[in-house]
Chain A
């Protein structure tokens, strides 16, 4: 009985040794790849941090309305976020390569799939982030412009403009990731078309007279409207 147990254990140890002998180089290679990826990621993060700081990236992000400057906590500035994103991109790439290096068919397939998807994910994220930045800039522009034109619904207009740009960026990102087929594009087109139609109906039904008066004022040789004060009561700014 004992000799049988010994023989089973010996066979198991032999198999384990054989497996280890076969897979250990792959495991070591995987560990090396991950360590190298971590080191490269750290270097990329540091270089990016310094380069973006030198370029004044945070100031430009604040200038373009992506951050307000007062609400950003330390290590949460846009340059830090970009550097961290780059770090995790390098690490994720390293993991994908490491899985491929391991050599097992299943994990290799996972690594390959990850390697193929990563660039798309990064591009989609960049498109979305850029879209959000542009959306904030557009929101601010529309808000200031509408307030200066004395439009009472200035904030509503600004929010609509912002979300239109965000929706456009999201649709582009989803399409790039091939999620939902053509559905995001179609949905976006429907939303924009509906908004345009609603706006046209609102102007046509509710503000027809106002638009007519505005067009009359723009016409060459048009008389100033009766509501406008005479020249003597106007203020000259320059």
Chain B
């Protein structure tokens, strides 16, 4: 890996963009070519560079050997990441950017983008001239899109790290040179290679390094977000990642109080498609089945008063089904503590949360069905405030899990 102190040796491209080649190398190559052209339009003086990042060594260049200036020709430059999967894309990009001495670099998905390259200016301007270290690109969404992010990821990460970053899980990211140097020096590339560079890792590092963070909403996503997994697998993956971050940075997040907004550009709301909202009936049925069969497992995770509250709401009809915010926050916190102390096998633990999560989704659907975008956001804000209000409970349980053992 490149020594960050070599960053000043060569001054090449001013802005570097990396596009992951996997799973669709052809799309990545096309995206890199159009990004290169768009960046030249927006920043002609900065000598932009767009590269394809691949784990396949055939015809690829090593990150530190990227030529300056680029050889002529239409094909994009392909950079070999070392074959460590999608998580190897980021360190390879950082190495290219530092080798080039670029003040900003970005990891972007190969999506069909708007013809107007103004969106690139939105992404890079905060880093190039605004002193921001990390820009998190995000996409406008309907009320019932990304409910896992709305119900768990956003409130939890906001409470833990103190920044109101609405979509912290995106693979896309824009990074300043200063942050790139910090990230590349990080010990976790060596000590925890399976986790470093993954979802949330960069954002957590940036937030805990007191870096300046901004988010930019780029309008609707050009291609719908892939939903490849069923909810249990998705929950296990996403919550496993967040709980791992909680465990690694336990000392830091316990000192964080409250949360502050981050500079935001663009509108995050998308008008909902026409038609009635989904029925909460199947979601409530999933919750009830979980309550019937999994409550013995949950009793090893949740304290009696939480179980009692869940029992009470399990009796409600589907249309009136509500999960109180404080209860939901405590459930998530209790599961994080159970994950930490390994109250049961971790994948089983996270998958067993699914009926509770579906119950919360039913409650959310019921509550926002008649609300407009602004009122929905106010509702989400109340949920986040509940998570923040219950943080002392999390800290107490995290520090003394046995004292609070159910």
| Chain A residues within CB distance 8 Å of chain B | 59-60, 62-65, 68-70, 137, 140-141, 143-148, 150, 152, 154-155, 229-238
Contact = CB atoms under 8 A, between A and B. Distances in A.
Given A70-B405, A70-B406, A148 B355 contact: yes
B114 to A, nearest CB: 22
B191 interface: no
A173 to B, nearest CB: 25
- For the complex of A and B, 3 pairs with smallest distance between CB atoms: A232-B273, A236-B145, A237-B148
Interface in B329-361: 341-346, 348, 351-352, 354-355, 361
B182 interface: no
Contacts of A146: 293
Given A143-B294, A147-B289, A154-B293, A235 B365 contact: yes
B129 interface: no
Contact of A63 (B297, B299, B344): B344
B365 A69 contact: no
Interface string B293-319: 110010110000000000000000000
Given A70-B300, A144-B348, A238-B227, A155 B293 contact: yes
Given A233-B277, A238-B234, A140 B225 contact: no
Interface in B227-270: 227, 230-232, 234, 238
Contact of A59 (B149, B277, B278, B342): B342
Given A229-B278, A236-B146, A65 B345 contact: yes
B225 A238 contact: yes
Interface string B352-392: 10110000010001000000000000000000000000000
Contacts of B348: 65, 140-141, 144
A236 B148 CA distance: 8
A65 B277 CA distance: 40
A65 B349 CA distance: 11
Nearest to B296: A68
A144 B349 CA distance: 9
Interface residues of B, number: 47
A65 B343 CA distance: 9
A204 B258 CA distance: 58
B327 interface: no
Contacts of B406: 70
A235 B342 contact: no
B7 interface: no
Contact of A236 (B147, B274, B299): B147
Contacts of A60: 342
B290 interface: yes
Contact of B148 (A141, A147, A148, A238): A238
A197 B344 CA distance: 34
B257 to A, nearest CB: 30
Given A69-B300, A230-B275, A237-B234, 10 more contacts: A62-B344, A140-B345, A146-B293, A147-B290, A150-B289, A152-B289, A232-B275, A235-B361, A236-B147, A238-B169
A237 B294 contact: no
A233 B148 CA distance: 16
B60 interface: no
B285 interface: yes
Contacts of A63: 342-346
A143 B232 CA distance: 13
Contacts of A237: 146-148, 227, 231, 234
B323 interface: no
Contacts of B300: 68-70
A70 B275 contact: no
Of B147, B344, B406, most buried by chain A (CB within 10 Å of CB) is B344
Interface of B: 144-149, 169, 225, 227, 230-232, 234, 238, 272-279, 282, 285-286, 289-290, 293-294, 297, 299-300, 341-346, 348, 351-352, 354-355, 361, 365, 405-406
Given A70-B300, A155-B293, A237-B234, A148 B351 contact: yes
A130 to B, nearest CB: 16
Contacts of A69: 300, 343, 405
Contacts of B365: 235
B297 A144 contact: yes
B405 A150 contact: no
Contacts of B276: 233
Nearest to A151: B289
Contacts of A236: 144-147, 225, 227
10 contacts: A64-B345, A68-B300, A137-B345, A144-B352, A229-B278, A229-B279, A232-B272, A233-B279, A237-B234, A238-B234
Contacts of B238: 238
A64 B343 CA distance: 9
Given A148-B231, A235-B144, A70 B299 contact: yes
B163 to A, nearest CB: 21
A144 B289 CA distance: 11
Nearest to A153: B293
Contacts of B361: 235
Contacts of B279: 229, 233
Contact of B355 (A145, A147, A155, A238): A147
A213 B405 CA distance: 46
A146 B355 CA distance: 11
B278 A235 contact: yes
B206 to A, nearest CB: 22
A144 B234 contact: no
A62 B343 contact: yes
A147 B293 contact: yes
A233 B143 CA distance: 11
A150 B285 CA distance: 8
A63 to B, nearest CB: 4
